[in-house]
Amino acid sequence: MKHFILIATILLSVGFQSLAQSDATETPTAKDSVAQESKKPHQDLMYIDLTWERLLGMPNGVQQKWYSRGINLGLLYDYPLNKNGNVSAAIGLGFQSHNYYLNSVVSRYDSGGVNYSEFRVVGDTILDRGKISVNYVDLPIEVRFRTNENSKGYRWKFAVGGKVGYLLQAHEKLIDNQGIKIKTYDYPHITQWRYGVSARVGYGSLMLSAFYSLTPFFEPNNSTTQQNALTIGLSIVPF
C-alpha cells in the first residue's frame, strides 16, 4: 500500500504540473490565434482502471475468488498523427497492482538443486483466506483511433498497444481459521520483467480495458506450471 500511495502521488503530481505548464505556454494570443485553431490538443492524458484479475492456467484444485481485483494508473503523452486528431500514438508511465484471492499458497521447493515455485492448495480447515499481490511499474504504449466529436462533444475511442513492466514488490497475505495473519514478502521466482498486449474501447471518459501478459507469472525456469495474467477493467479517463 505504501508503494501504491507513493507511485500514485508521483503520477498525479507530474500530470497536474504538465497541465499547468501546458496552459501557461499555450495561451492563445492575437498573433497566433489562427495557428491555435488548427492545432489539435493532446487528449486522454491519464487513465484510472478498476480491474478484475485472473490467472489463466492454474493447477487442478486451485480456485480463484471472483472478487480478485486491482488498480491501474497511468499518464501518457498523446501525439496526434493526423490533422483532426482522430489517430494518435501515446507513450507514458504507469503503475499496476494485481490482487489474487485464492484457496492456495505459493510454495517453494528445492528438487535436485533446482529451486522452483508453484501454487499449492490448502484445505479449508487450515486456510480461511489467502491473497497474493504483485505490483509493477509499467511503460505503456498505445495507438489510438477516435471518431469525430458529436453534438455533445464526445467521441467513440479505441486503442491497441502493449506495456513492459518491472516488478516493484510482491507479497502474500494468509489468514488461517484461528484469525492469525501471516504476511510474506520473499518471492524470488515471480517474473521480474513482464510484457503483454493491451486494448481499450469506450465513449467519452468511460472505457473498457483489457491486458494479457505474454510472460508467465513465475519465471519459466522456476515453475512446473505456467500461469498468465488476464486483466479486465473499467477505465476512467478524466482528461
Beta strands in 122-192 (DSSP E): 127-146, 156-176, 181-184
Joined together, the cell numbers standing for residue 87 give: 489517430
Cα–Cα distance measured from residue 157 to residue 171, given in angstroms and rounded to the nearest whole number: 36
Please name the amino acid found at residue 3.
H
Least confident of 37-51, 86-100, 184-198, 217-231: 37-51
Q: Which pLDDT value is given to residue 40?
A: 59
Q: What would the pLDDT profile of 98-146 be if each residue is shown by its tens digit?
A: 999 998 889 888 777 778 899 988 876 677 788 999 999 999 999 999 9
> Which whole number is the average pLDDT over 193-213?
97
Q: What is the pTM of this model?
A: 0.82
- Say how far residue 176 (Cα) sits from the centre of its chain: 30
> Which whole number is the average pLDDT over 168-184?
89
Q: Which pLDDT value is given to residue 26?
A: 47
> Which whole number is the average pLDDT over 195-211?
97
The whole-chain average pLDDT of the chain stands at 85
